[in-house]
Amino acid sequence: MPVVYERCCGLDVHKQRITACLIVPDAAGQPTKHLRHFGTMTAQLLDLADWLAAQQVTHVAMESTGVYWKPVYHVLEGTCTVRLVNAQHVKAVPGRKTDLKDCEWLADLLRHGLVRGSFVPVPAQRELRDLTRYRLAPMD
């Protein structure tokens, strides 16, 4: 299968932890996987962004689980192309499911151009949506 993105990363995002699988070519041009864990606080998300920038990653894919993807997306959107993918579209073969396998699967799919990103509005539209949601929230 042809490689579309040589330097890419798959992220498995949870409430308190992010598991990342980075695929980059080694000195011989062969794909090499690097796995790391990051926390979800701002400083740790910035560490993730720095790590991806140091490896010259161009594309990142992560599942849209709950609202946990939002801070990660906000930190990474200016540094590389971030694809927010529907978890149902990238479901792996049933069986043993781990964070490491999930992020590796996402990275492999992204590497070969097999994931389609969900619609994420531009920052100005996201801010307006947040404001209207805040204003329409019932006051108790």
What are the chain's domains? 8-136 (3.30.420)
State pTM to two decimals: 0.84
Per-residue pLDDT at 95 exceeds 60: no
**Residue 108 has what pLDDT?**
93
- Report d(CA 54, CA 50) in Å as an integer: 6
Cite the DSSP H helix spans in the chain. Answer: 42-54, 69-76, 99-111, 123-136
Confidence of residue 42 (pLDDT cuts 50, 70, 90): very high
| In contact, 9 and 111? CB cutoff 8 Å | no
Q: Could you tell me which residues come within 8 angstroms of residue 70 by beta carbon, excluding any fewer than 6 positions away?
A: none
Confidence of residue 58 (pLDDT cuts 50, 70, 90): very high
